[in-house]
Every structure is written in C-alpha cells, then in structure tokens.
Chain A
Amino acid sequence: MTSLREMKDKGYIPQKMQIKLFLGGGISLSKTLLLNMGDLKKLRVMHNNAERYVRPIRQYDIPTFNNNMRYCESNEKFLRPTLYCNPLEPEVIALADKLGAFKKSDQEFAEAAFHFVKEKMILEIITINEVGETFRRGTGTCFHLITAFIALCRCAGIKARYKMFAMNMIKAWYEATVEADPLVKKWYDSMGYFMIEGEGEAYIDGKWVVAHVGAEAERQAAAGIPITKFGEDSIGNWFSAIPGTIMISESIPYGFGTATKLIKKIAPGSIERVNISIQKQIARGRKIIEDAGGENAYDKMTRMQRGAQMPKLDIKLRKEIIFEE
C-alpha cells in the first residue's frame, strides 16, 4: 500500500496545474458532448462500410529475459518505479540490455533508447497501461512512449522524468489528430488545446536532456518539420506550450488516463477515426521521406528551408533574483 507521503513524493498526486487542466478538459468535454448529442450518437460508432483501424504489427523483437541481464534497482528519486513505469519489468530489462545498458555511456544509451522508442514504436490513441504491456504491443499515446523511454533509462541507471504541458499544435498535426473526427475537433476547439502533452527528460552529465519520442520521423515528415533529435524540444517545433503550464514530474499522476478512458467509452468511434488518420499520416510521411532520398536527406533539406531558428533557452539561477516567501 502506497503511503500518502510516498504518493506526494513520487508525484502521484496531481499538481495544481494538472488538476486545473484535468478539470478544464473534463468540463469542456462534458459541454461538447452535451451540446452535440446528435453528433455523438452518429460518431460514437463506426458504420458498417467505414474503414476500420488495424493495429500495425510490432516493429521489433523483445529478447527473452534472463538473469544475466543487468538492471538498476534503486529507490532513488527518478530511478525508482512509478505509476505505469516499472523499469524492472522483464520486457524493459530485456530491451534495455539489447540497447546496450551498462555497456554504453549514459549519453549513448539514452540516445539509443530515444531512437528505439521514436522509430520503432507507433502512436496509437489508447488507454494508459503498464510499460511492459506497451512494449509487448509496440504502440501507445505519447505518454505510453515517454514512459517507455523513461523506463529504459531508469533500468540502465539513468535518472529520467516527465515534462508535461498544455499546448497548441502545428496545423499539420492538428489536421491529422484533431480534424480527423468532428467530435474531437469540437472538444479541442472549445478548449483551444488538448489537456496535456509531454516529453521525457534524462539526466546526463549533470543536465536534464529533453527527449520527445512521441512523433515518428514519418509523422514529422508529413507535417513538414525536421526529424527531431535527442535533446531537441518539441516546444517551438510542433507544439507551443501554453504559458505557465510546463510541469516537471517523476511520475504520471493518478487520474491521468481518465479522459482517454472516458472518451474511449463514450465515443470509441472517434478514437478509431483518429487512429486511422494517424496511420494515413505515417504513410504520407513515408512517401515524403522516400521522395526526399531518405531520412537524413529529408531532415537536412527541411532544416535548411526552415531558416528561422530559435535560440535555445537555458535558464540558470541568477544571484540577483532573490525569492522571498
């Protein structure tokens, strides 16, 4: 039984901003549903002749766990197991071992974990589950994928945590994930943003390095943006964080999956349509990458075209700023 103190310490209890966003999202969703009962009735199911979502085949093998595989078992903050993220699950240990845990430097391993999750795992809107199940399935929401990255890092003895924020998204991504279903669109539009988006962060050589693993190269190509690398932030690239909503947490908080569970229950058809649209976006991106001559060529070309780069923010404490209670 987890004590209240542990719940607080590990970040299971939602932060004030998270509660605000949950409530905002919940109220907005309820309102959208209540005001659109007719649409809901139509959209909650998939019609007989409608295209159906078929989950893509997992793109990797999971080695069989054996006792010779090394792992980090620690109760230290950012290394220990948290909600939905147990780095000691056999699938996590086996994959971390395959990716070079304890054989590579922290930087090299975190990069390998980043590429594995970003390139081999696929976005699917689905309710939240334990990380082992996510690896077995090979798909998940961005939070499943971030959890997968964090679990791999923690298993390899690298501290890792969540960075969450409310965001606006770039148009291309909006078209694929929001416009794909009228109900989701109305929900999004009535709020102005989805409730919470996230990234992982790994602690390497005294610095937290960001890892946005939620977007495959193909989806980024479909959106016309560069293929982001380990250490590159999604904020400013395809999301813009709503000011004041960035939160750092060791764990996914309690109640996090409620919204997706709820919408899955109320409007499973909507979820399916969004997942179909994501698959189409991936196919479109694959074609764009092929036409450009591969991922590297596409990435180079897009970065050159982008031109307007942003300075990187590195906020440090300043002795002149004195905080008083």
Chain B
Amino acid sequence: MYSNLTINYDEYIKKFDSCVSKYIPKINEWTPTDYAVYGPKDLFKVPLKDATELQFNAIKYQFKRHYEHNKIYNNFCKDMNVVPDDIKTYENLDRIPLIPNEFYKDYPAGRDFALWLANIFTGDIPNIKINGKNPSFDDVINAFNASGLAVSYSSGTSGRHTFIPRDMRSFYISEYSAAKNVVSMIYPLWDYNMHGYLLMPNPFKTNVFAGKVCTIYYDTIKQVNVAIDREINTELIKLSMTGGKGLKTKLIKSSLKRMNIKMVDNIISWLEKNDKEKNKIAFVGAPYILYLVTNKLKEEGRTFNFADRGAVGTGGGWKVQENTRMPLTSFRKQVEDILGIKHEHCLDIYGMVEGNSWLTQCPEGHYLHIPITYIHPLVLDKDFRPMGFNEVGRYAFLDGSTFSYPGFIISGDQVRMLEHCPVCDRPGPVLEPEVTRASGKEMRGCAEEIRKMISDDVKE
C-alpha cells in the first residue's frame, strides 16, 4: 500500500535528498556549481533573479576552469578572442565560445582514442592502463571507468557515437538532477517504497549515457526491475542499429527480437502483480518499450487503473524504432487509456550526453522546463547567432555543471524557446515539447538515412 499524499514539499525533497546523499558533496566542498545544482529545493521554482545569479556564478566558474585546465578549449577561446575576464555580466555569457556537438563525434580509434579522451578532458586524470595493441572503444572506456571516471556515449544514429569524458563529480550531478527534476515535477507522487521498472539497459551493464545515468534510480526506489538486463556495448549497438549482415548480426538481431517479446510479457506480469497488491509504480526509460506494452494490452483488450499511484518518466528518444514514433500527446493518451496513469504523471525528459541538464516537462502543460540555475539556454540562427524567444533554431547551452569537459555546446536539435511556460507559473524559459533534429548542414545524419533507403532499393 502507499502513503505520502499529504507530505509537504520541503519534507518530500528532504526525504529524496537523504536517499541520494552519496551524490551530494559535503557542503564545505561546494563550488558555485554545487550551489546552483544542489542548493535549490526545487530547481524549477527559483525566482528568476536568484536563478540568474546562481547560473552566472556557476558558468563563469566553469568557464575559467576549462580555460585554464583544458588546452584544446584554451586554444579555441584564444582563436575566438575570449578570456575569462571578458565575462563580467550576465549579458557577457553569450560571448563564451560554444563547441559544436560534432566535435565529440570525430575521434580516432585504438590507442589514439584513449589519447583523444585524455586530451579533451579538463584537468588531471588518474593513471589509466590500456591493454592490447589495438583496443576497441569498449576496451578504452572500460579502462577509463575502472580508474574512477564515467565515460559514456550516445546511442548514435547509425552507430556514430558521441563520447563524453565525465569525472564522477560531473556524472553524479547529471544523475542527481535527472532524478530530482522528475521527483519535483511529480510531487507528491514519489515515494521510496514505489516499485520501479527501468525501461532501459541495466545501468550497471552499459556505458550508454541514457542507461548509465539511471543508476540513481536504484537509490531513489527500493525495488527496481530492469527491461534489458544484458551487457550493451558499442559493438552490439552497431550491429543492432546498422543494416549489417552476416551470421553474427542475424543471431544478435534474432536474440534481441526474442528478448523484446519476453520483455513485454515480463512487464505485463509485473503490472498484474502490482495492480493486485495496490502498489505505487514508476516507469522510467525509453518510451517505445512502454508503447509496445500498451499496444499488446490494447490488442488483448486489457486495461489497468494506476491513477494516483503510477508515474512515467520517458526519455532517450525513439531512435531505433523511429518508424513507430507517435506524438507525445497520443503516447500519454494511450498510457492513460490502458494503464490509467494520469497524463500529468506521464512526463518526458529531454537531455543529451553532451550536457548535464535534463529539461523536464511540467505536469500542467508538458512544456520542457530548463534548470536555469546552472543552464544558460540559447537558440541559434543559421549563422549560429543567438535569437530571441519564439524563434525556431538550433538549441545550444552553457552548462555550468560539468567539471571534466566544457559543457558549452551547440546541439544538433531544433527547438522553439518561449520566455515563460504558457500553462504553469514556474519562472524561466521553456522549450516547446516536440524537439526535432536540425536539418543537417553536414551530410552525416541525412546521408545515412538516404543511404539506408537507397541501399534497400538497390537490394530490391
């Protein structure tokens, strides 16, 4: 049975913080970044003036660190004629040089990959032993992570990953803010005694960022089941996402297919059990898995009623199952119709491996709220100049929370930013809920799509 419905917010978030205390540094070690991330009780309700001050201090602090301790970024700033002393006011933040996300996608292989990771890292790294003459990407990442770092990567359309070298401090910030954002938004539904289902790979068996960042789920919820409980590495992703052929690929794809069918059945059994026991439940992860589950239940004409005792937090996109994409509103409706989980408890999160920010939908309007105490969001025009609100352009951000690499990034996504949420009263700008890929000026993404399409035609 569940409780918690009348808890006040301060007590609610205190309970949350006590579950995740290992993620929070001791207060005497706090930097401007920590004040911006861990200080506010609700990151989305900080008055604009205070949020702006926290944001400026965190970003300026990190900009100075990266300028002084990252040779590549230091040279980049010098090329752009910007030094830390130039950042005197909030308005000056727009001068901080932004790194296009493509930068983190061009890397060498083998031993050079290890050196690449070490060179893009800000500050000192521990001693890292790399075995073998020609180590794979996974070998190198595992060696870094065995030395106390948290290197992770994107799933990568067509298998081209974005690799980001985080230290544990930066990684903990990312995990903490992802969890806290959702917990804040679904207040007062979260409860440590909930039963959770992670619709992602087991975070302890993967370095895919969207999966790995979910280790905190195990600290915030007592009992967690996981949908994909096998090791997921770059090789497996490459085989499953590209049109590779050969016996190995066929075997893996067939095994994945079997696993997917079993996964859906397991989740349905889990739903039945929790429905019977009247437990509170929380799904976190890839929407397509829940989409498969609700589809199967729909086919069987079955429904559940988890109203007021169920929550869904989705993220990670629909990359593999792009052809089954549906608008978020339809997805929420299907979840509500089949599982009874209210649409205000079905929230999408927008984040990426290059940043620590997790933009989170508000329950009232499902607009994506930005944690502006440490994120300075920007929308850029085609010449990469900042635009005003309400314009559609390339999403970019200054992330004041990354210690191990400069989180000043131009993303590959197209968004529209509004000055204020049109529905709720949380302060600060928001993004419209549906984020799309920017039409690439480089061939990489589109070419890959065209290639797949045409090569299929050729096959015919």
Contact = CB atoms under 8 A, between A and B. Distances in A.
B115 A318 contact: yes
23 contacts: A35-B459, A36-B458, A168-B444, A168-B447, A168-B448, A170-B441, A171-B443, A174-B443, A190-B454, A192-B158, A235-B106, A236-B102, A241-B106, A243-B160, A243-B161, A246-B112, A308-B384, A311-B72, A313-B72, A316-B71, A318-B118, A323-B111, A323-B130
Contacts of A246: 108-109, 112
Given A171-B442, A246-B112, A308-B384, 18 more contacts: A32-B458, A36-B458, A168-B448, A169-B443, A171-B443, A171-B447, A174-B447, A185-B454, A189-B458, A192-B447, A235-B106, A240-B102, A308-B98, A308-B100, A316-B71, A321-B114, A324-B130, A325-B131
B73 interface: yes
Contacts of A51: none
A321 B459 contact: no
Contacts of B108: 243-244, 246, 315
Q: How large is the interface on B (under 10, 10 to 19, 20 to 34, 35 or more residues)?
A: 35 or more
A201 to B, nearest CB: 15
B383 A190 contact: no
A317 interface: yes
Nearest to A186: B458
B127 interface: yes
Interface string A167-208: 011110010000000000110011110000000000000000
Interface in A272-325: 304-318, 320-325
Interface in B369-407: 380, 383-385
Contacts of B119: 313-316, 318
Contact of B451 (A189, A309, A322): A189
B391 to A, nearest CB: 16
B127 A170 contact: no
Contacts of B79: 309, 312
A317 B115 CA distance: 6
Contact of B100 (A171, A186, A191, A310): A310
Interface in B404-429: 410
Interface in A211-270: 235-236, 240-241, 243-246
Interface of A: 31-32, 35-36, 168-171, 174, 185-186, 189-192, 235-236, 240-241, 243-246, 304-318, 320-325
Contacts of A306: 383-384
B125 interface: yes
A103 to B, nearest CB: 32
Contacts of B116: 313, 315
A236 B106 contact: yes
Interface of B: 71-73, 75-76, 79-80, 97-100, 102-103, 105-116, 118-119, 124-133, 158, 160-161, 380, 383-385, 410, 441-444, 446-448, 450-451, 454-455, 458-459
Contact of B80 (A240, A241, A309): A309
A314 B71 CA distance: 9
A311 B73 contact: yes
A318 B103 contact: no
B103 A168 contact: no
Contacts of A315: 108, 112, 115-116, 119
Contacts, number: 141
Nearest to A171: B443
A320 to B, nearest CB: 5
A244 B110 contact: yes
Contact of B443 (A168, A236, A304, A323): A168
A186 B112 contact: no
Contacts of B109: 243-246
A315 B131 CA distance: 20
Q: Across the A-B interface, give the 9 residue pairs with the lowest CB-CB distance, nearest first.
A: A244-B109, A307-B384, A311-B76, A189-B454, A308-B384, A318-B118, A190-B455, A192-B451, A308-B100
A36 B71 CA distance: 51
Nearest to A16: B134
A325 B385 CA distance: 48
Contacts of B103: 310-311
Contacts of A317: 115
Nearest to B114: A321
Nearest to A325: B133
Contacts of A241: 106
Given A189-B451, A311-B75, A313-B119, A170 B130 contact: no
Contact of A170 (B126, B383, B442): B442
A322 B128 contact: yes
Contacts of A323: 111, 114, 130
Contacts of B99: 310-311
A191 B450 CA distance: 11
A246 B73 CA distance: 23
